[in-house]
Structure 1
Amino acid sequence: MLRQYELVDRVLGYDPKADEALINRAYVYAMKQHGSQKRASGDPYFSHPIEVAGILTDLKLDTATIVTALLHDTIEDTGSTMDELTKLFGPQVAGLVDGVTKLTRIELTSERSKQAENFRKFLLAMSNDIRVLLVKLADRLHNMRTLHFISSAEKRQRIALETMEIYAPLAGRMGIQEIREELEDLAFKELNPEAREALIKRLNEFREASGDSVKKIAKEIQTKLEEGGLACEVIGREKRPYSMWRKMERRAISLEQLSDIFGFRVIVNEVPDCYSAVGILHTNWPMVPTRFKDYISTPKANGYRSIHTTIIGPQKKRAEVQIRTRKMHEVAEYGIAAHWIYKEGGAGADTSGEFAATFHWLRQLIEMLEHGASPEEFLEHTKLQMYSDQVFCFTPNGLLITLPRGATPIDFAYAVHTDIGDTCVGCKINGRHMPLRTRLENGDEVEIIRSQAQRPSPAWEAFVATGKARSAIRRSIRATKQAEFSRLGRQIVKSAFEAAGKEASDTILERALGPLRKPDLDELLAAVGDGTLSAQQVLLTVYPAEQPKNGRKRPIKGNGKDERDGAVRVTGRAAGLAVRFAPDMFPLPGERIVGIMMPGEGITIYPIDAPALEEFDGDTTRWIDATWDIDPEHPQTFPARLRVTAKNEVGSLGHIATLIADYGSNISNLSLAQRDMDFYDIQLDLEVRDLKHLTRIMSALNGLSCVNTVIRPRR
């Protein structure tokens, strides 16, 4: 454990202007507050904040951050209060401590939601001062170093998984690679100890076989660069076990096939020297194709800049070489902690051009946090943002957009602006119209085609890769669904009130808000629309003397031409989020339909003769009148299904397909259900305008000599 004077000397070593008295006061205060508390290892609890502060001195952080590290557990684990910390150490330190404090008072239903809610609140605090994140990462690093002292295997696994999923990627996104790699490796040790031990054993064998080749290769690289007139420093390093394991898993290769078990860093003085070094290396040794990346001209989202190349270097060994200036090296090692703002104690870090990309990412997280429906959803989106390789794409105006690998034009649109994503209807990639689910590649130029009438499709969620896009899509769908449920609920309430001979004005309906515990009329109507509240309940709440209607009859089959007052009007094949068609039922305009209220989901539309309706006969309160509302000026097509038994002879299928096309229909799907020597059964999914259109096709098919039977199956 660091002694008091050792900690102060460390800070003064890189910051002679540090407030020595404040650090000493915090050290003594924290020691007294934690008193005789012990850690799982048996060590005094106070050793933990001291070690956290020591980790932060390695990052050369300012006095306020070091003091925060010493005090970060006092509010949670001792009798300290915010007022006391503010009085003794000032509002800045007190605010930082409050941001780092674990939120153990939150009582949620599961460990998963607890984790998500803590992370959500943690990021809120982080948005005000990034130093909160740095203290939290150091806190987690020391806890992981001492994880083996925890007796509960389940708890160790949970902490390790949380570290792997949240804190290690956060450290990476902030550019603090050393902390990220150590967190990953410590978590890997707990989550998969057998794999790690096997890898270390193989690595030791590989190291013994290689001897001191790393030093020799580094020396030869440096000699060649110096002969080329470059002043430089070459450092050889060995990757951590988890980093190698992840690459082996991703590429499905063996340890011997890894090109960067031993990597080399070339540190030069100026940016032009980086490119000169590349020229010297590639002149003396062949490069490995596809293994060259220039993160100087296109930096990573966390501010990382460097040139990566892999060469068949000295001793004919593959070697990954990273070339960077000394300033870039500091950023690569310490990430955002390397920025002058935390050495000088200034303000307005988000105005720094060098770290603009990092803060842009942070602002995106905060935007998702503000609009997320639940902590779990936010955690999912954030993990999508953090776990990613990168793809660099451009707008038609040349603006660079950085996205995770696997991103689509939808992700691109939302990365430019939320409104562009919400109104996206198509795209051009490198000047060609392409599907919205196309995966983008490095260097693609993407043009988004927009329409103000467009709204995000629920199907987009299946192929987006960024948390921002998924969050915005879900937010828009929730808003659209709420509006649809509200409109549907108004129709249902109006129908129920008219049947009772009562008025259903907004003023009258507002009488039900208090008794039914709804904040406004939209919420009330939406609850009726999604089936969680019935129109009869609203009616009886507004008019308590009204007798409930019993013995409601199931609607009978009709010809589909009725114009029933108050019936739910079905307007198209994609009826909406509040009104949907029953799967595999295929109702068509021209036949009678009925709605079944599904609580929490809205109304499902069935043909009146569907056998599946029998299961709802015992609960007639769920039956809703429905009618078609089709505009003859703008005809639509609807899915229909036929079962055709045809002769097993040459040309039968061709005759059937030709007839269907001649009648103006299209086959959307075809499957062979059964086949024998004489006949085979075909299931055809067609696109038709209405029941008459389908009936004409069925009659014509029955007239073909190769067709035995045609039926329209019902479930």
Structure 2
Amino acid sequence: MTSPPIDLEAEKQEILRRYRGLLRAAKLSKSRADRRAIRKAFDISLEAHKDMRRKSGEPYIYHPISVARVVAEEMGLDTTSIVCALLHDTVEDTYLTLEDVEQLFGKHERDIVDGLTKMSGVFDPGTSAQAENFRKMLLTLSNDARVILIKLADRLDNMRTLDHMRPDKQQKIASETLFMYAPLAHRLGLYSMKTELEDLSLKYKEPSNYELIETKLRKGKAVRTRFINAFTLPIRRSLAEQGVAFEILGRPKSIYSIWSKMQKQRVSFEEVYDVFAIRIILESDAELEKADAWRTYSIVTDFYQPNPDRLRDWISLPKANGYESLHTTVMSPSGKWVEVQIRSRRMNEIAEKGLAAHWRYKQGGKDESKAASQNLDNWLAQVREMLDGGETNAIDFIDEFKLNLNSEEIYVFTPNGDLFNLPKGATTLDFAFRVHTQIGSRCIGAKVNHKLVPLSHQLTSGDQVEIITSRKQKPKEDWLGYVVTASARSKIRHALRDEERTIANDGKDKLRKWMRRKEIAFNDANIESLIRRLKDDSPHALFLRIATGGLELDRLGGFAVERNNLIWIKTPAARNLVAKAPITQPPRKDDVLLIGEGMQKIDYSLAKCCNPIPGDHVFGFVMVSGGIKVHRQNCPNATNLLSKYAYRTMKAQWTSRTAKQFEVSLNFTGIDDVGLVNAVTKVISDDMHVNMRAISFDSADGTFDGRVSVLVTDTEHLKQLQAKLLDVPGVWTVERVDEG
């Protein structure tokens, strides 16, 4: 079947009509410079895309014009944004380069178009390359928020014109939109855009359900209009009598929100709780916004009974994305629930255009709610912190970001009355890091509503939280399981990286001193030689292994020194000096190292990095320098050894309980009190008859940290001791320490 002939003249007229519509939307009649810039971008885009057509067969230029119109009309962004929207596909799809964009328009335009170009293609949550692309786009939040706003406008136009795509493409793009772009629009406060993206996504993902709800809403429009007019009539009269300037909008809930409620509540369309909603927009001065909103609330509830469980005050406590509004749900005379939203004109603009309005207010220095502005800035700062945690792989990053996009919020207080908003499910440790990185890093517990709670305690709205810190506390790997906010997780990972870097520097110093003794030059060539010989991944990995006891330099053999350079001897006899248990013959899978009395013929030793004792689950690690090191399976170095050097590991088990004693260190935390040290030592020496090697306590701000080294026979003996110590009043935690 041949396509109908293209009417080029009609297309030319349509392009001109759409361009004029863009200019009207941009409201730039007073600025000749703005019109020139937009005309220039339009001409370049028209020329660059002149031979390109969309899947519908329409000229491609329709798309950039439509995106630019969304940016101008629905977001109210500036000339630079409109120019970049017109150019957003040129670098990716045509001969135009970023250098051309910079030369023709400037560096700002180049950077924005560059950010948009990086975010090309379809996002698939299971594809790390596309996840990484999405991450790159979010990085632009740190530099210029207009990139992400234009990208959302681009996505909205693509969804509006999805009819001409193949069904599989429609499904993929709709899924991606629902998975990430709609929640992102919501989090950025673009509620109108979020609603349209959700509805369009549902249209292609659940066409029959979409059609069902859309049909019912369309058929019920006349009835709904009469109902809303009757419902709002007394409110209108009362507001007018009191001299309040207002606008009332009646609307049904969105198709997607109705469908979501039908799914969650397992009900039919007719049983959905509150299909009806009205919005009262007040023409209030900034200083009277809050008072006018509550006055209007009083008028509404004079006529209709409110549901006390459905009152939401986002004027006093704006959402993290800057959203401000007063919500209530009231019962109509006919027995239907109606949601009522009350807000000022300024609040409505923020609610509809979100980050776009916020960005515009900040650029123009206009008046904006301080609390709303601060909340949005705080959220953007948290996104940047999350993005800075570069060690997270892209898929994990998307999961974390998605969690932070969709979560509901709770509000908690400090003892001084300062208010913090956190995602639902946040813990005391999340709160500690939200207050300050240093407080989070030193947190050992908290008092919630004056009761002691652990780090993992989940907070609820209205909690008063006092964080308890200790100077000796450091972030631990298991803390990652205690937090839900990406910001806290990023800070913990950053601290763990710093700690690992410190340990690696110790290993580097040990290697430098050893090389000095052996008259070997401490340079890149010799370090690389060691890395190749010992099969490490990097200098960092080598230094870390030396610091944690995974490599004993003094037992290293099979080398010579020539002019301060490390030379490896290749004779078979010399190779035996390198390792008594050569790594060229790794242990067989069925080999088991038996540890215990009478086994001294085997050259093994207990690793000092984790101090294993009988009863611990252990494994053996064949050392390059000879012999076998026995590690606990939960040793801090176990993951590294088992993942990188699995061929050098072997099963190990204790042969029997023994009368021999092993040194173990324990850390304490708790409330400082008179006689606490005596109580602890009494339990250890008198009650448990355990020998102590060393004990130290340090107290500050009403809490204490302590460490004691004791001699125990096995893990069962150790558990009994820990249980007894936890019974001492004031003792919170008793944890085994890995290092000796």
Match of 2:377 among 359, 368, 373: 359
Residue-pair matches, total: 622
Equivalent residues in 2 for 1:595-614 (5 A)? 595=630, 602-603=637-638
1:81 deviates by: 1.4
1:177 deviates by: 0.5
Which AA in structure 2 matches 1:569? K
Match of 1:163 among 168, 171, 177: 177
Which AA in structure 1 matches 2:429? I
Question: What is residue 435 of structure 1 aligned with on the other side?
Answer: 454
Structure 1 residues 632 and 216 mapped into 2: Cα distance closer, same or farther (>3 Å)?
A: closer
Q: Is the 8 A contact 1:293 1:309 kept in 2?
A: yes
- Of all paired residues, the percent bearing the same amino acid is 34
> How far apart, CA to CA, are the structure 2 residues paired with 1:115 and 1:524?
33
Match of 1:371 among 379, 389, 409: 389
1:414 deviates by: 1.7
Q: Is the 8 A contact 1:570 1:629 kept in 2?
A: no
Question: What is residue 675 of structure 1 aligned with on the other side?
Answer: none
Question: What is residue 547 of structure 1 aligned with on the other side?
Answer: 575
Write the deviation string for residues 320-359 of structure 1: whole angstroms up to 9, x where unpaired.
10001111111111112224x6379658999977523212
SS at structure 1 position matched to 2:301: helix
Equivalent residues in 2 for 1:125-136 (5 A)? 125-136=140-151
Q: Is the 8 A contact 1:295 1:305 kept in 2?
A: yes
Write the deviation string for residues 286-339 of structure 1: whole angstroms up to 9, x where unpaired.
111210011111111111111001111343321110001111111111112224
Structure 1 residues 288 and 36 mapped into 2: Cα distance closer, same or farther (>3 Å)?
A: same
Question: What is residue 542 of structure 2 aligned with on the other side?
Answer: 524
Q: Is the 8 A contact 1:488 1:568 kept in 2?
A: no
Match of 2:272 among 258, 280, 286: 258
Match of 1:558 among 589, 593, 596: 596
> How far apart, CA to CA, are the structure 2 residues paired with 1:448 and 1:88?
55
Q: Is the 8 A contact 2:619 2:653 kept in 1?
A: no
Does residue 342 of the first structure (1) align with residue 360 of the second (2)?
yes
Structure 1 residues 343 and 457 mapped into 2: Cα distance closer, same or farther (>3 Å)?
A: closer
Q: Is the 8 A contact 2:612 2:630 kept in 1?
A: no
SS at structure 1 position matched to 2:185: helix
Equivalent residues in 2 for 1:82-101 (5 A)? 82-101=98-117
Q: Is the 8 A contact 1:388 1:405 kept in 2?
A: yes
Write the deviation string for residues 513-565 of structure 1: whole angstroms up to 9, x where unpaired.
35636797442133678999998998557552231345679765434999999
1:458 deviates by: 3.8
Question: What is residue 75 of structure 1 aligned with on the other side?
Answer: 91
Does residue 64 of the first structure (1) align with residue 80 of the second (2)?
yes
Structure 1 residues 142 and 519 mapped into 2: Cα distance closer, same or farther (>3 Å)?
A: same
Equivalent residues in 2 for 1:524-673 (5 A)? 524-526=542-544, 544-545=568-569, 546-548=574-576, 549=579, 557-559=595-597, 567-569=606-608, 581-582=616-617, 595=630, 602-603=637-638, 622=650, 631=663
Structure 1 residues 439 and 234 mapped into 2: Cα distance closer, same or farther (>3 Å)?
A: same
Write the deviation string for residues 363-414 of structure 1: whole angstroms up to 9, x where unpaired.
2111221223132232222222211111111122222111111211121112
Structure 1 residues 152 and 560 mapped into 2: Cα distance closer, same or farther (>3 Å)?
A: farther
Question: What is residue 206 of structure 2 aligned with on the other side?
Answer: 192
> How far apart, CA to CA, are the structure 2 residues paired with 1:335 and 1:41?
32
Q: Which moved more, 1:234-243 or 1:203-212?
A: 203-212
Question: What is residue 229 of structure 2 aligned with on the other side?
Answer: 215
Q: Is the 8 A contact 1:458 1:477 kept in 2?
A: yes
Which AA in structure 2 matches 1:258? V
> How far apart, CA to CA, are the structure 1 residues paired with 2:414 and 2:191?
30
SS at structure 2 position matched to 1:175: coil
Q: Is the 8 A contact 2:125 2:176 kept in 1?
A: no
1:173 deviates by: 1.8
Which AA in structure 2 matches 1:690? T
Structure 1 residues 190 and 604 mapped into 2: Cα distance closer, same or farther (>3 Å)?
A: closer
Which AA in structure 1 matches 2:713? D
Equivalent residues in 2 for 1:435-454 (5 A)? 435-454=454-473
TM-score w.r.t. the length of structure 2 is 0.72
Structure 1 residues 624 and 256 mapped into 2: Cα distance closer, same or farther (>3 Å)?
A: same
Q: Is the 8 A contact 1:568 1:625 kept in 2?
A: no
Question: What is residue 37 of structure 2 aligned with on the other side?
Answer: 22
Q: Is the 8 A contact 2:183 2:405 kept in 1?
A: yes
> How far apart, CA to CA, are the structure 2 residues paired with 1:177 and 1:624?
59
> How far apart, CA to CA, are the structure 2 residues paired with 1:228 and 1:81?
60
Which AA in structure 2 matches 1:360? N
Match of 1:304 among 323, 333, 343: 323
Equivalent residues in 2 for 1:265-280 (5 A)? 265-270=279-284, 271=289, 272-280=291-299
Which AA in structure 1 matches 2:608? R
1:109 deviates by: 12
> How far apart, CA to CA, are the structure 1 residues paired with 2:149 and 2:104?
23
Does residue 322 of the first structure (1) align with residue 347 of the second (2)?
no
Stretches of structure 2 that go unaligned for 5 or more consecutive residues are 1-14, 560-565, 621-627, 641-645, 669-685, 690-710, 721-740
Q: Which moved more, 1:330-339 or 1:549-558?
A: 549-558
TM-score w.r.t. the length of structure 1 is 0.74
1:228 deviates by: 5.0
SS at structure 2 position matched to 1:230: coil
> How far apart, CA to CA, are the structure 2 residues paired with 1:394 and 1:198?
46
> How far apart, CA to CA, are the structure 2 residues paired with 1:161 and 1:184?
10
Write the deviation string for residues 609-641 of structure 1: whole angstroms up to 9, x where unpaired.
xxxxxxxxx9776589999995579699xxxxx
> How far apart, CA to CA, are the structure 2 residues paired with 1:231 and 1:109?
48
Structure 1 residues 22 and 539 mapped into 2: Cα distance closer, same or farther (>3 Å)?
A: farther
1:184 deviates by: 1.7
> How far apart, CA to CA, are the structure 2 residues paired with 1:320 and 1:520?
61
> How far apart, CA to CA, are the structure 1 residues paired with 2:568 and 2:78?
68
Write the deviation string for residues 22-66 of structure 1: whole angstroms up to 9, x where unpaired.
111111110001121122222211111011011112222211111
Stretches of structure 1 that go unaligned for 5 or more consecutive residues are 586-592, 606-617, 637-661, 666-687, 698-715
SS at structure 2 position matched to 1:320: strand
> How far apart, CA to CA, are the structure 2 residues paired with 1:598 and 1:431?
39
> How far apart, CA to CA, are the structure 1 residues paired with 2:252 and 2:616?
59
Q: Is the 8 A contact 1:303 1:335 kept in 2?
A: yes
Question: What is residue 655 of structure 1 aligned with on the other side?
Answer: none
Q: Is the 8 A contact 1:410 1:464 kept in 2?
A: yes
1:112 deviates by: 1.8
1:230 deviates by: 3.3
SS at structure 2 position matched to 1:26: helix
Does residue 174 of the first structure (1) align with residue 174 of the second (2)?
no
> How far apart, CA to CA, are the structure 1 residues paired with 2:488 and 2:436?
10
Does residue 6 of the first structure (1) align with residue 21 of the second (2)?
yes
Question: What is residue 676 of structure 1 aligned with on the other side?
Answer: none
Q: Is the 8 A contact 2:613 2:713 kept in 1?
A: no
SS at structure 1 position matched to 2:327: strand
Which AA in structure 2 matches 1:568? A
Write the deviation string for residues 144-190 of structure 1: whole angstroms up to 9, x where unpaired.
1222322260x433322322222212211221111111112222223
> How far apart, CA to CA, are the structure 2 residues paired with 1:195 and 1:532?
61
Structure 1 residues 401 and 558 mapped into 2: Cα distance closer, same or farther (>3 Å)?
A: same
Does residue 286 of the first structure (1) align with residue 290 of the second (2)?
no
Q: Is the 8 A contact 1:217 1:315 kept in 2?
A: no
Q: Which moved more, 1:533-542 or 1:268-277?
A: 533-542
Structure 1 residues 345 and 460 mapped into 2: Cα distance closer, same or farther (>3 Å)?
A: closer
SS at structure 2 position matched to 1:321: strand
Structure 1 residues 368 and 255 mapped into 2: Cα distance closer, same or farther (>3 Å)?
A: same
Structure 1 residues 581 and 364 mapped into 2: Cα distance closer, same or farther (>3 Å)?
A: farther
